[in-house]
Amino acid sequence: MYPLGLRLDRRRVLVVGAGNLAHRRVPRLLDAGADVLLVSPHARDSLRAMASEHRLRWEERRFQASDLDGAWLVLAATDDPAVNAEISALAEEARVFCVRADDREAATAWTPAVGQHEELTFAAFAGGDPRRAAALRDRLLELAATGEVSPPRFRGSGTIPGVALVGAGPGDPDLITVAGRAALAQADVVIADRLAPARLLEELRDETELIDAAKIPYGRQREQDEIIALMLERAKNGKFVVRLKGGDGFVFGRGGEELDACAAAGIPVRVIPGVTSAIAGPALASIPVTERGLVHEFTIVSGHVAPGDPTSLTNWDALARLRGTVVVLMGVRHRGAIAAALIAGGRDAGTPAAVVMDASTPRQREVRTTLAELGDVEVTSPAVLVIGEVTRQR
Ligand SMILES: C[S@@+](CC[C@H](N)C(=O)[O-])C[C@H]1O[C@@H](n2cnc3c(N)ncnc32)[C@H](O)[C@@H]1O
């Protein structure tokens, strides 16, 4: 076997059969720019959709020899071995490489297990064993995701690599995104929040400078100014800086301010979203924030200032009049006042509610209650308060 990368841009690829194999292979052919001709009396919905969007041409009939005219490659992917054999015999005569769904030994071309990570493409063959090939491909993808195979985008190479604003997820280190993990593995400097998962920090390279944002003294605003100053200073010195936040950095995470600061300083910045505790917390307690036929909206609010406080920007009365789910972050201290404001605004005191504490960590704990009793249940931080019908026990 001789491995090869095919450049298929605007080159005809004939796909005969529109079942499982075609469903799996055609999207990648289209991504490569191939001019796909699909021949099959029937097609799966996804392939029909591609035809109706004019991404490929679908001939709604059985294969005929002239379909091979002009093709550079053929996929014989019907469920009839006799038809596949006929296609591959004609392809052989026409000197067109043919991949066969049913008989790899009779095929003149094999497709590898393929993986893509940013600009890297992995193709694995494993002596004809597709499971081993897939396992090998997955291992390579893991290496790429953890940064062991560095995509050039993050390499220093003389220019400023910049800042990545990375959401770390709610606490379980497995709940960071693949992109977030890759950024951490390549970081020269990591500025981590209090809620950033400790195990992710353990995995950093020895030479990565770790700055614990929680240890920076001063009050809240001074602290944020100091973090931004450090972030910009390190980035201007050519370091690749990861600003790591719990959950998603753009949900009560001040990510917007950091984005603005980078933009104002001319520092390249990339936002890598995270899994927010506002949705993951309830989900990990089996609470969907929406439910068909029951709740068509959810609102995420900050409870860090009590309702009625002059600095509060939340219209609790309006929120009380909605029937959807209310998710409160930073609401532990004011939970009684929040519940009272919602009841005063018209929510039923018996509305079910739940509190999910330390979501996704080994310490995760949940309490089910009602709006009227939310202020009385024992709660520890960090916690997500969830109010609404979706919190009824499943
Ligand atoms: C400053 S906010 C940051 C939210 C974060 N950016 C996010 O998207 O999850 C901190 C609040 O998030 C919530 N929180 C974060 N992690 C949590 C977890 N693992 N379990 C429960 N609540 C969590 C708590 O309400 C906490 O007070």
Domain 278-391, second-level architecture: 2-Layer Sandwich (3.30)
12-111 under CATH 3.10.20.310, yes or no: no
Q: Which atom of ligand 1 is closest in space to residue 330's alpha carbon?
A: 27
Residue 283 has pLDDT above 70, yes or no: yes
Q: Across the beta sheet with 209-212, what order do the strands follow?
A: 209-212, 189-192, 241-245, 163-167, 269-272
pLDDT, position 219: 59
pLDDT, position 150: 60
State the burial class of residue 376 (Cβ atoms within 10 Å of its Cβ: 0-12, 13-18, 19+).
exposed
Q: 276 CB less than 6 Å from ligand 1?
A: yes
Three-state secondary structure call for residue 340: helix
Three-state secondary structure call for residue 30: helix
Q: Is the dihedral of CA 142, 146, 149, 155 positive or negative?
A: positive
Contact partners, residue 352, CB within 8 Å, separation at least 6: 368, 369, 370, 371, 387, 388, 389, 391, 392
Condensed to tens digits (0 to 9), the pLDDT of residues 105-129 reads 899 999 999 998 877 889 999 887 8
The mean pLDDT value of the chain amounts to 92
Regarding the domain delimited by 154-275, which CATH topology (the fold level of the hierarchy) does it fall under?
Cobalt-precorrin-4 Transmethylase; domain 1 (3.40.1010)
**Which one from 193, 245, 248, 358 is the annotated catalytic residue?**
193
- Residue 297 alpha carbon to ligand 1 centre in Å: 20
Condensed to tens digits (0 to 9), the pLDDT of residues 163-190 reads 999 999 999 999 999 889 989 988 999 9
Sequence spans of domains, the chain? 12-111, 112-145, 154-275, 278-391
Q: 314 vs 255, 342, 348, CA distance in Å? A: 20, 12, 19
Q: 197 CB less than 6 Å from ligand 1?
A: no
pLDDT, position 394: 73
Specify whether 245 is catalytic. no
Condensed to tens digits (0 to 9), the pLDDT of residues 84-93 reads 999 999 999 9
Is residue 281 within 8 Å of residue 356, measured between CB atoms?
Answer: yes
